Amino acid sequence: MYNKMKIKTRDFGEISVGEEDIIRFIGGIYGFDDYRDYIILKDSPEDDIMFLQSVENMELSFVLVDPYAIFIDYKPSLPIEDLHDLKVNREEELKYLVIAIINENIKESVVNLKSPIAINPNDKIAKQVILQNSYPLRYNIVSTEEGKKC
């Protein structure tokens, strides 16, 4: 049985989480190296949009998007060092999420396809990686949203 702890979050108030819910980052997220422990929160299980909430700092939360929901042919290619750090042999063993910047004008909202969060779901470890592929740092999500409506 895992111990539960209460943490305060920026967008979901106080919640109870278990050790099994925590994802530990290798090296932190770029620009936020001091924070390593996060949980993923979402409004409903089928949502493609979620929040990466720091367990250590209630104000630190990132909007995440499933890259396959907006870029169907997304095929991340990682350096071998990243695969070793994440304790896997192939990219397909990892779950990928991308950080989104959501603006008031939704047409200006973007995701970072070049530096996704790669998660080893079995070991609950993660790393923000820089892909060897030539994906953009800022990919506009609106054109994809409009394409989905067709």
Q: Residue 52 is part of which domain span?
A: 4-149
Helix (H) or strand (E) holding 10: none
How confident is residue 2, by pLDDT bands cut at 50, 70 and 90?
Answer: low
Check if the beta carbon of residue 118 is closer than 8 Å to that of residue 78.
yes
pTM listed for this prediction: 0.87
Checking if the pLDDT of 148 tops 70, the result is no
CATH number for the domain including 137?
Answer: 2.30.290.10
pLDDT in tens, 70-110: 888 999 999 999 999 999 999 999 999 999 998 888 888 99
Name the domain count of the chain: 1
Check if the beta carbon of residue 125 is closer than 8 Å to that of residue 97.
no
Task: Give the number of other CB atoms < 10 A from CB of residue 104.
Answer: 6
Which pair of structure tokens corresponds to residue 126?
């993660």
Q: Which amino acid is at 98?
A: V
